Structure 1
Amino acid sequence: MKKTARVVLIVLIILSNLLCANMVKGDDTNDDGPITNDILKSESWEVAGNQAPRVSAGAAIVMDVQSGRVLYEKNAYKRSSIASTTKIMTAIVALENGSDGEDVIVSKKAASIWGSRVGLKMGKIYKLGNLLNALMIRSGNDAAIAIAEHVGGSVEAFAEMMNRKAAEIGATNTNFVTPHGLDAPQHYSTPYDLALITQYALKNKKFCKIVSTKSSTFEGNPINNTNEMLSLYPGADGVKTGYTGQAGRCLVTSATHSGWRIISVVLNCSTRSVRAQSSKILLDYAFGNYKIYEYLKKGGQISQVGIHKGLSNAVGICSDKDISIPLKKDEADRIKVEYDIPKTLEAPIQKGCRIGTVNYVLDGKVLASTDVKSTATIKRKDFYYYFDRIFKTWARLVHQH
């Protein structure tokens, strides 16, 4: 009997060690060594070359923030585990449905979650704004649970909010189960969807401020951003790291140069060094090979359209939005502008009404499109207009005689 018990104990110890060995580590874990500037010194924008880059990431993408144009992709539409890059959506849902000063009471579930943590205490009250910093800077899983329960009422209800927002953004190949991203069978996204979600999130100024912060404090203790690119890549200004055993090392980066902002996503990298170097290669490729071409300014007059039976013979037309597209030089030579605008319009015309569209097309693919709107209100020539014309003509003739 004692021998059997001893065998069972040994088996349990072995299983426990195996479980610990395979346990998902938090984003802050630096188990594969520090990243040095030497890793990012190889190549520059000027020598990045026109050839599509090769990266060790399992899946990746580069996207222009303004136009949404994809500049590079590798398995970009394949469903993958995304680890703590999940927290990009957690943050934006919280920012849109809560305010910094709200009190958040920490539950047992939040306080006891494993992985990357900031040490929240069960029953203690924290401000939502402080928890958002802990979420995105220190990648606190406990902060993620606390935020989800406060904003959504429960983790499950908050996940539904995340999924509704993903659908609204257009991230249709994404499903969220948790607010922290620890491995779960039905929790997934793609590089493309993550880029779309990030593109949306970067419109929020408060989000941008948090994810660009290198270091801060939480409850009097210093916290450093888990995003190595903020310190290693010139112009890097976000966004979020991730790491689980299933997802590997993940990183969503935004970087800005000369007013041009792009997003890179790398998933399933073997080490932090690999994800940093893969991100650098992709950013260098985009900045080194593409240039922003500005075609239209919102509100800027494009042309005029004739008006039939209007008090004016023509009305100005303008773009409904800015059109700026990142292009390689040879692409800029090939891009075509297609106008879908009528030659004449029937009065009356209201200022701001949609007149048509302008499309910018490269090799048969629409890269950018905008509605074209009228710049003024043009009234129609009615009975009173013609009567007035006849009366004035008659009066002039009488006066002449």
Structure 2
Amino acid sequence: MRLVRLSIRQLGVLAIVCCILFGALTLTATAAPNPISTHAKGVALIDVESGRLLYSSNGDKPMKIASLTKIMTAIVAIEHGKLSDMVKTSIRAAGREGSSIYLKKGEEMSLQNMLYGLMLRSGNDAATAIAEHVGGSEEGFVHMMNEKAQMLGLTNTQFMNPHGLDVPGHYSSANDLAKLTAYALKNPTFKEIVKTKVKKAPNPNDPWDYSWTNKNRMLTMYEGADGVKTGYTKQAFRCLVSSATRNGQQLAAVTINDGDDWLDHQNLLTWGFSNFPLSEVTHKGQPLNGYPLAVGRSLLYPFAEGEKEQLRSKLTLLDVQTTAYSLGERGYLEWFIGETKIGTTPVYEPLSSRITLPEHPAWAMPTHSALQVAKPWSSSFRSALMLTLSTLFGGKGAAGW
């Protein structure tokens, strides 16, 4: 084996390069967030924008969920009902046991106001009246709830009623509730209702208005809190879904059967904001190097420390004969952290360059053809390192060691 004699200068530069390389490798490794624990039997924490589950403990275990059920009741009613409709209270609704807004038989209230009574005061009477109005019957509405759960991929969820009173076969999981909440919070009506601290509504039975104070104490005890729902039964025990927004990032926390939920939720949300800040992956209109294309949708993602350095993307261009192509889409970018896919964004021709193109432009490729448009940071660093060593050792590079 041929030995290479190094000058003092070369040894010094090599030491510096090795230190840089070691530091870079340390940076690209994902740092595990500080551990966190709660008093709950089931826990989940989710980033609302991306849908990324940031923390889960017994997250897929089906459990009784009490009035957290009403998150699904509300979003189904909002999507399928008309907020200005007047909802008439049946004798069945007026007599519903448990928490109540004290509706009387025959009383009429707008669906919108009844949803406030449902979510702020957890009215079981409101839940029943809403279900009968929107679903035609309580049973019909429960069928709609379960259809929605299936559509959202909530595989550990089954509803038997719209209010959450304990009955066999009525359950969900922390992870499913986190996914449901992230979905519901993207609806502006739902989002507005659950962040409301006090709501007044017309009262046909008395000379004064209804005044409902939200049972969710997180709204007044945690900075940025903006939802969502409390729950309790003797079998489910204390249940809570809370949400908060800081620096443009919204998180939602779920605990089931938790003896210290107010404290646990404050800790969970703070932990999430500290360890998974929301960052931009790409923005709408960003051009693609080497292609007459631009990103069609912004993408944000909550990165843990060290993850963003592993970000890479893959571009797939559409066949010109596809329907999507005829509608203007030219392909899509898939974004990865390592081998884990975190999102997809479409790509289009920039408006400024939309001119008449040939029927089969040179850059168009079939759907199965894909290429890398963003290398992991470590690959770029490795190339720069090899160039430095090649220069240092007179063109020998690493092979001359």
* TM-score class, shorter: 0.7 to 0.9
| Structure 1 segments of 4+ aligned residues over 6 angstroms from their partners | 344-349
Q: Give the Cα separation in 1 of the matches to 2:164 and 2:111.
A: 20
Aligned to 2:348: 373
Within 5 Å, which residues of 2 pair with 1:105-124?
Answer: 105-124=88-107
Secondary structure at the aligned position of 1:355 is classed as strand
Q: Is the 8 A contact 1:52 1:72 kept in 2?
A: no
Aligned to 2:312: 337
**TM-score normalised by length of structure 1:** 0.75
Aligned to 2:337: 361
Q: Please state how far the C-alpha of 1:281 moved relative to its aligned partner.
A: 1.1
Aligned to 1:276: 262
Among 169, 193, 217, which residue is 2:200 paired with?
217
Q: What is the RMSD of the two structures over their aligned residues, measured on CA atoms?
A: 2.2
Among 232, 240, 246, which residue is 2:235 paired with?
246
Q: Please state how far the C-alpha of 1:356 moved relative to its aligned partner.
A: 3.5
Q: Give the Cα separation in 1 of the matches to 2:319 and 2:247.
A: 41
Secondary structure at the aligned position of 1:252 is classed as strand
Q: Give the Cα separation in 2 of the matches to 1:176 and 1:229.
A: 26
Within 5 Å, which residues of 2 pair with 1:39-188?
Answer: 50-188=33-171
Secondary structure at the aligned position of 2:54 is classed as strand
> Among the aligned pairs, what percent are the same residue?
41
Q: Please state how far the C-alpha of 1:304 moved relative to its aligned partner.
A: 4.2
Q: Give the Cα separation in 2 of the matches to 1:347 and 1:99.
A: 41
Q: Does 1:289 align with 2:275?
A: yes
Q: Please state how far the C-alpha of 1:134 moved relative to its aligned partner.
A: 0.4
Instruction: Tell me whether 191-200 or 212-221 shows the greater mean CA deviation.
Output: 212-221
| Structure 1: gaps spanning 5 or more residues | 1-48, 306-315, 383-401
Counterpart code for 1:277: L
Among 280, 284, 301, which residue is 2:287 paired with?
301
Q: Give the Cα separation in 2 of the matches to 1:361 and 1:266.
A: 28
**Equivalenced residues, count:** 318
Q: Is the 8 A contact 1:358 1:370 kept in 2?
A: yes
CA distance 1:185–1:299, shift in 2 (3 Å): farther
CA distance 1:366–1:110, shift in 2 (3 Å): same
Within 5 Å, which residues of 2 pair with 1:196-215?
Answer: 196-215=179-198
Secondary structure at the aligned position of 2:289 is classed as strand
Deviation string 1:153-198 (CA, Å, 9 cap, x unpaired) is 1111000111111222222321111110111111111111111111
Counterpart code for 1:358: E
Q: Give the Cα separation in 2 of the matches to 1:164 and 1:345.
A: 35
Q: Give the Cα separation in 1 of the matches to 2:158 and 2:359.
A: 56
**TM-score normalised by length of structure 2:** 0.75
Q: Give the Cα separation in 1 of the matches to 2:148 and 2:359.
A: 48
Q: Give the Cα separation in 1 of the matches to 2:305 and 2:359.
A: 49
Q: Is the 8 A contact 1:361 1:368 kept in 2?
A: no
Q: Give the Cα separation in 2 of the matches to 1:354 and 1:60.
A: 41
| Structure 2: gaps spanning 5 or more residues | 1-31, 204-208, 361-401
Q: Give the Cα separation in 1 of the matches to 2:199 and 2:297.
A: 37
Q: Is the 8 A contact 2:44 2:59 kept in 1?
A: yes
Aligned to 2:14: none
